[in-house]
Amino acid sequence: MSDLKKVAIIGRPNVGKSSLFNRLARQRDAITSDMSGTTRDVKKRVVTISGNRDFEILDTGGIDYSSELFSKVAEHALRAAKEADIIIYMVNGKMLPEEEDRELFYKLQALNKPLALVVNKIDNEKEEERYWEFLEFGAERTFPLSVSHNRYFNDFYTWLEAYIPPREEEESALDLEEELDPFAEMLEEIHFDSAEEEEEDREIRVALIGRVNTGKSSLLNALVGEERTIVSDVAGTTIDPVDESIEYNEHKITFVDTAGIRRRGKILGIEKYALDRTEEMLKQADIALLLIDATAGVTELDERIAGLIEKFKLGSLIVINKWDVREEKSYEEAIDDIRDELKFLHYAPIITVSAKTGQRVHKILEQIVAIYERYKQRIPTSKLNDVLREAISRHHIPSHHGAVVKIKFATQYETKPPKIALIVNHPNFLHFSYKRYLANFIRSKFDFEGVPLDLETRKRGERKIDE
């Protein structure tokens, strides 16, 4: 144990050092209190993260020179920092940066050791703005944390792992089994048998959704090349969804021109009926074209409508219409604004068009076919698990309150949208942020642009497949 790395938690009183100590040690033996200066001695505990990385954590008293007693506590804390291999400097994210914190941080920086600035008490997304104020410290790594709510820990653990080696005697945390579950092999056979059937799957249902007067009817007319629906400047002209099919690139594409969706408070009578019809149609669709008015940008209602795409797990393309009459805003600015407002559709490509002039409308058809091919694609289990091994080796699976979480293997069990089962020893213990990391990693290796990706955790032997 003498070779263990030492990690010191340093900071002024009442910033949450003991709470972080308890969280890492998973014990409640350090007294936590809202009263400043509760911890006076340096507490030590051997801690394990990621299942097989051990280190010694040092919880120090708050650095405070307001009295003789506290000054001695501060001396002990700074001595612990000098003895440590890795230093965590904590500040209170409920308050703006203070000069005393800067001075102490720079003093620790001068020790030339791995040093992270942890901004604690960032308990919700609204409070994240205060975190940015602390970037002015110029720390090599700065992390927002909410120790009391156990939020934002993954990046912090990843940083620690870079300096804390795994146990040599332990087997690798990567525990994918070489012999896959018979269930996976059975699925592979089913998938092989159905490959010919999937080859013939060339009918695509496409929903046009968006607020009223974003140009859905005009776009439909431009796509099919004829005046199929009534086009008017009066908002909400279209009431019933209208189907129109065309042949394109050996695919039959059926468009459903949905009724414009108004604000919830304005949905009365026939428009309430239209919204219900829209949702019914979305259940049958494969791909949604979300129309955004370039002259208005993304509104709160646009975000709600976009939520329907996520709800029904559709392939998606964001279409910015009226690009020819927009205000003077660069392409980069417009795309950045939309990405910022529609974060949950991060996988959807964006195209700028003018339904009125026909500008780039033909590109939409190319995108629809390409997205559909990804929507129905199936990744062989062997390739999927090769990628999973790589993902886990780069960022190990966080343990859950001391329990080691292991992914046995993964297999894709459904298409349209692609659904992947992760066979895990403790399915409920795999943190949602790690699942998101895996989804993004899989996206980086396979082309899933425009397609939602469902990752489901289940135990070995669980045969239930979602309907």
User: DSSP assignment of 186-239, as one string?
Assistant: HHHHHHHHTHHHHHT--EEEEEEEEBTTSSHHHHHHHHHTS--S---SSTT---
Of the candidates 229, 232, 227, the one whose C-alpha atom is nearest the C-alpha of residue 213 is 232
* Helix pair angle (153-161, 432-445), 10° resolution: 70
In this predicted model, what pLDDT tens digit does every residue of 224-280 receive, in sequence order? Answer: 775 444 344 444 444 444 567 888 888 888 887 554 454 555 545 544 554 566 677
DSSP assignment letter at 34: S
**pLDDT attached to residue 189:** 41
d(CA 241, CA 275): 10
What pLDDT is recorded for position 376?
Answer: 92
Q: Is the pLDDT of residue 392 over 80?
A: yes
- pLDDT tens-place string over residues 141-151: 889 988 888 78
Rg (the chain; Cα; Å): 27
Q: In terms of pTM, does the model score above 0.85?
A: no
Are 34 and 14 in contact by the 8 Å Cβ rule? The answer is yes
pLDDT band at 187 (very low <50, low <70, confident <90, very high): very low
Residue 64 is predicted with a pLDDT of 54
pLDDT surpasses 50 at 368: yes
For residue 450, what are its two tokens?
């425009």
For residue 382, give every residue at least 6 positions away whose Cβ sits within 8 Å of its Cβ, in sequence order, or none. 180
For residues 337 and 213, the model is more confident at 337
Q: Residues 59, 84: contact at Cβ < 8 Å?
A: no
The pLDDT-based confidence of 460 (bands split at 50, 70, 90) is confident
pLDDT of 206: 92
Looking at residue 67, its pLDDT comes to: 43
Q: What is the pLDDT of residue 62?
A: 58
Q: How far apart are CA 61 and CA 419, in angstroms?
A: 49
Better-scored residue on pLDDT, 84 or 38: 84
Give yes or no for a contact between 118 and 146, defined as CB atoms under 8 angstroms apart: no
Instruction: Express each pLDDT in 371-391 by its tens digit.
Output: 999 999 999 888 999 999 999
Which pLDDT value is given to residue 374?
A: 94
* pLDDT tens-place string over residues 299-347: 887 888 888 888 899 999 999 988 887 777 788 888 888 999 998 899 9
**String of DSSP letters for 275-289:** HHHHHHHHHH-SEEE
Residue 193 in this model has a pLDDT that exceeds 50: no
pLDDT per position as a tens digit, 407-430: 988 888 888 999 999 999 999 999
pLDDT higher at 210 or 291: 291
Residue 232's pLDDT is what?
A: 42
Q: Mean pLDDT across the stretch 291-304?
A: 86
Q: What is the pLDDT of residue 387?
A: 93
Q: 3-state DSSP: the chain helix, strand, coil percent, rounded to 5?
A: 40, 20, 40
The percent of residues above 90 in pLDDT, for the chain, comes to: 23
Whether the CB-CB separation of 248 and 361 falls below 8 Å is answered with no
Amino acid at 214: T
- Residue 184's Cα: distance from chain center in Å? 27
Instruction: Note the pLDDT of residue 61.
Output: 65
Please indicate whether residue 239 or residue 51 has the higher confidence score (pLDDT).
51
Residue 9 has pLDDT above 60, yes or no: yes
Q: Which residue has the higher pLDDT, 452 or 307?
A: 452
How many CB atoms are closer than 10 A to CB 449?
14
Residue 170: what pLDDT?
Answer: 41
Does residue 455 have a pLDDT over 90?
yes
Question: What mean pLDDT do residues 82-92 have?
Answer: 91
Dihedral sign computed on CA atoms, order 357, 359, 361, 362: positive
Higher pLDDT, 98 or 198: 98
Tell me the one-letter amino acid at 463. Answer: R
